[in-house]
Amino acid sequence: MQAISDAIEDALNEAGVRTIRREGRGSGRWVLLDFGDVMVHIFHQEERDFYQLERLWQDSPVIDITGMIEVPAVASAEAAGGDE
C-alpha cells in the first residue's frame, strides 16, 4: 500500500500537482491522498467491498483528467528516447 501511494504521489508531484494531505498510511489498509481537485483512494479489497465507493459515486459524471496533467520535460524526453 505504501509503495503504491508513494509512486502515485511522486508521479503527481513531478507533474506539478502538489499533495495537500495524506491519511491512513500508518494503518496500511486504506490510504487517502488529497491533491485538491483530485482525491486518490488506495485500499485493500475487503475495505473496497465494505465501503463500495463506486456505488456512492455511480451517478457522478466521469471526467478524463489525462489532458490536465503535464508531463515533466525529463519524462517526456525519456519516453521519446531523447537524452534531455
Write down the domain spans for the chain: 2-80
What does the block give as the cell for 35?
Answer: 491533491
- pLDDT of 34: 96
pTM of the predicted structure, to 2 decimals? 0.67
Neighbours of 23 (CB within 10 A): 11
Q: Is the pLDDT of residue 82 over 80?
A: no
What does the block give as the cell for 36?
Answer: 485538491
23 to 32, 39, 40, 78: CA distances (angstroms): 5, 11, 11, 32
- pLDDT of 31: 93
The type of residue at 69 is: I
3-class SS of residue 72: coil
- Per the CB < 8 A criterion, the answer to whether 27 and 15 are in contact is no
Look up the CATH number of domain 2-80.
3.30.460.10
Residues 63 and 55: their CA atoms lie apart, in Å, by 17
**Banded model confidence at residue 78, pLDDT cuts 50, 70, 90:** low
Condensed to tens digits (0 to 9), the pLDDT of residues 2-57 reads 889 999 999 999 888 899 999 988 877 899 999 998 889 999 999 999 989 889 88
Condensed to tens digits (0 to 9), the pLDDT of residues 55-77 reads 988 998 988 877 766 665 555 44
